[in-house]
Chains A and B, each alone.
Chain A
Amino acid sequence: MRISELLGKPVVDQADQRLGVVHDVVAVRDDGTRLRLEALVVGHRGVLERLGLGPGHVHGPPLVHRAVHRIARTGEIPWASVVRVTEANIVVRRQDSLN
């Protein structure tokens, strides 16, 4: 599998409800060297995320902060919640889906 096969792919829950698309993938160093996938960054609007202006990156004035959060609402879904990755989408467990 390649990371390009995850980025941009639609994410749905087991009830086939669309949660957004994968904007990014979070990985952690689990033993000092290996990078292990930890979560998918999923949201509906990805332009700001791709520019590095997503909610997790902007800490400016409160007005800007709120505006970015409102426009580019994203969330992380733990990799452990991923049920399967198919050609068409990524299916995650329903209780772990985004609000």
Chain B
Amino acid sequence: MSPSSPERLRLGLQLLDRQIVDREDRIAGKVDDLELTEPGDGGAPVVTAILSGRGALAHRLGGRLGRIAEALSRRLLPQETEDGRIEWDDVVSIGSCVKVDRDRDELATATVERAVRTAFIERIPGSGKRGTDADQ
């Protein structure tokens, strides 16, 4: 992370639901959950990954609503199977958005956006093959 990132964070307020952008500042999903791992020495848990995408969001919602969200997304995006997981080591900075040192096309976090782009946006005449400018 950059030196400008805060030293003390309130994870729910300052990290959850923030926009994720890739190394080229393109939108790459949202922070839906955080993976915590307890170190072997018995110390306090550390944040090891950002979880994003349909599975993470459904898990966070929990209960009946979470199950409905999970079922709906499975129906709409049957080809997407994995939660989007970004290693914490890939986080570059935290501010109004969370910047990661990855390319969004290699992340499984922007699945809905990718599916909409493929199914609808690219079929609109004049949209171009890839919506690279419009969605930055």
Listed in ascending order, the chain A residues whose CB lies under 8 Å from chain B are: 1-4, 7, 23-30, 32-38, 41, 49-50, 52, 79-80
Contacts and interface: CB of A to CB of B under 8 A. Distances in A.
A2 B44 CA distance: 14
Contacts of B10: 24-26, 41
A13 B92 CA distance: 38
A3 B46 contact: no
A52 B13 contact: yes
| Prevailing SS type, chain B contact patch | mixed
Taking residues whose C-beta sits less than 8 angstroms from the other chain, chain B's interface range is 20 to 34
Max chain B C-beta neighbours (<10 A), residue from A23, A26, A49: A26
B68 interface: no
Given A28-B8, A52-B13, A37 B51 contact: no
Contacts of A34: 46-47, 88
